[in-house]
Amino acid sequence: MNGPEYSEKLDEIARIAVRRQSYMLRRSWGMYYAIWASGFTFMLLSSIIIFTFVRNPAGYLILLSSIFFIVFFSGYLSRRVFRIAARTEDLRHLLDDKYHAWSRRYTVYYWVIFILTLIAAAVLGHIMPKYSYYSAVPFLYFISYYVYSHLRRSFEKIPSEGYVSIFSMLAFAIALTSTMFTVSSYLRGIIALISLTALIASWFWCSIYALYHAREGLEIG
């Protein structure tokens, strides 16, 4: 086997490996959606229970503590799920120079957007001290970008459920943003409840769809 043939053989092996990893990644994303949809569900239920039965400042502390625990635990599970992502990225670096260039730009974009998110959160917390929980809204927009960028890093073409997850998170962020201009606390609660419920339903659907269609990646090419 001469040099060009050997190189082509290695490329073919690498592409087969990428398809296999893409299958595993789509399953991982399906689990990721399920983990966070479950986390959002627990957040919703805990907030309803706490605000119904614990109507004092301690309730806010309990709620924040429970949200912190849910986010930490969901993040931990997500990290374990995505341990294969780094290997897939290494393979794509070898196969696609354009991807390598985009990946470097992504690192810059990520930190710029993250810093802007922190600034926006600090500003909101300062100008709206009575509703300091609105300082979390910029992070919802950041999460939308985070999910999009990692989907780009995971797949050559973002699956349909990926777009659903991104837009549902954006819709949730926009809905909460709109409540900043709402006087009625009752209306704010209704909007938050409906939008969060829609987000949960969307991400559970994304999970089911991703897990069901994951094997399609093995059949391509």
Look at residue 171 in the predicted model and tell me its pLDDT.
Answer: 94
Q: How far apart are the first and last CA of the chain?
A: 24
pTM above 0.85, yes or no: no
Overall domain count for the chain:
1
For residue 154, the tally of other CB atoms under 10 A from its CB is 22
Nearest to 193 by CA among 175, 207, 210: 175
Per-residue pLDDT of the chain (221 residues; tens, 9 = 90+): 555 555 566 556 556 656 667 778 888 889 889 988 988 898 888 777 776 776 666 666 666 677 677 777 777 777 766 665 555 555 555 555 555 555 666 677 778 888 888 888 888 777 776 666 677 888 889 889 888 888 887 777 889 999 999 999 999 999 988 888 776 778 888 888 899 999 999 999 999 999 998 877 655 44
Which residues, other chains included, contact 172 with Cβ-Cβ below 8 Å and sequence gap of 6+? 140, 195, 196, 198, 199
Phi and psi at 121, nearest 5°, equal -65, -40
- Residue 147's domain comprises 3-219
